[in-house]
């Protein structure tokens, strides 16, 4: 029994030392939807994420907040598991759950974007991933300046 445990521990150590993790890369917004038939209550967004690793990563669950100008817009939900293939970009569909009053006040406070001003769009929280069947939690803290012109590039 001790031999099996020692062999298993050695194999895990060897596998762990051979695998180096590179952070996932956010590539940009791919789309926004307000369609309730698609489960958007009130907003769905699609993000392009690049996996620079040589192995697949499965996104499992998020516990994160969407922020606009450092004010909380709502909770980000990942409804289904998403497999990020190695060395490829993948579109990740996310739902943002929020009260309509919160969305309205956030939109009203961000009207400057229509006049060319940048707004700070951010995500803060944790992401659960699975690599080779082993689960991990990754801290997310990504902010980006956004203006409407970036949608037309």
For residue range 94-138, list pLDDT tens digits in order. 888 777 666 666 666 666 666 667 777 788 888 888 888 888 888
- Is the pTM higher than 0.85? The answer reads no
Separation CA 118–CA 143 (nearest Å): 12
Taking the C-alpha atoms of residue 7 and residue 33, their distance in angstroms, rounded to an integer, is: 51
User: Quick one: fold of 21-152?
Assistant: Immunoglobulin-like (2.60.40)
Domain spans in the chain, listed from the N-terminal domain onward: 21-152
pLDDT digits (tens, 9 = 90+) for 48-82: 889 998 889 898 878 788 888 788 888 888 878 89
Do residues 65 and 44 lie in contact, with contact meaning Cβ atoms separated by under 8 Å? no
Token pair in block for residue 108:
């009203």
Token code pair at residue 131 = 């690599």
């Amino acid at each position: 029994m001790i031999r099996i445990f020692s062999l298993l521990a050695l194999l895990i150590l060897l596998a762990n030392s051979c695998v180096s993790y590179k952070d996932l890369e956010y590539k940009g917004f791919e789309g926004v939807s307000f369609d309730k038939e698609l489960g958007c209550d009130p907003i769905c967004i699609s993000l392009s994420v690049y996996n620079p690793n040589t192995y697949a990563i499965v996104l499992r669950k998020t516990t994160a907040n969407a922020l606009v100008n450092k004010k909380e817009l709502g909770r980000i939900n990942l409804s289904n598991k998403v497999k990020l293939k190695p060395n490829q970009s993948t579109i990740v569909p996310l739902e943002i759950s929020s009260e309509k009053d919160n969305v309205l006040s956030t939109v009203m406070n961000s009207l400057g974007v229509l006049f060319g001003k940048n707004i700070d769009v951010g995500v803060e929280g944790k992401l659960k991933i699975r690599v080779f069947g082993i689960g991990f939690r990754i801290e997310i803290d990504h902010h980006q300046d956004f203006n409407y012109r970036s949608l037309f590039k």
